Amino acid sequence: MAADFFLGRRAMLAAGGALVATSASAATPLRFDQLYGAWTVEGLRFSAEVEKLTGQEVAMRGFMAPPLKAEADFFVLSREPMALCPFCSSNADWPPDIVVVYLRRQATPVDATVPIETRGRLERGSWTDPATGFVSQLRLRDAAFRTV
């Protein structure tokens, strides 16, 4: 009886690992150079890839910009390491190589020079965070990250 439980538990753990691997691989990779399709007089235009992936889980690699506080539930993902937090005050100031990442739960930041991969649901369009007043054009929601 104990052997059946042990084998059953092993099988469950193996199945759970497979489920984690399956859901982790479900994220579509998205690179910074795929975010925008055109630069117009009205500003940056989202790429066809971003329009297609909006609402879906994507995986992006980059660097965590220095956060405003030690424990936070959001951060800025940038293409290159940054010395300062790049939050902007308007749509016109929005840099083309950052994405705001809203985490599932608070996390301790990593060094700004350490590459990370983050996964979350892609949102596009101008949005002002009611708690901070920060403006963003692209966001990852319900996200998590790991060092790479």
From first CA to last CA, the distance across the chain in angstroms is 43
Reported as a single tens digit per residue, the pLDDT across 2-48 is 443 333 344 333 434 333 333 445 899 999 999 999 877 777 899 99
DSSP run (H or E) holding 3: helix 2-25
Give the dihedral sign, CA 8/9/14/20.
Answer: positive
CA dist 49 and 32 (Å) reads: 11
Q: What is the mean pLDDT of the chain?
A: 79
Q: Are 99 and 63 in contact (CB under 8 A)?
A: no
- In Å, how far are 20, 54, 68, 77, 131 from 141, measured between CA atoms? 19, 11, 19, 12, 16
Read off the tokens for 15. 């199945």
> How do 115-128 and 36-40 pair as beta strands?
unpaired
Q: What pTM did the predictor assign?
A: 0.76
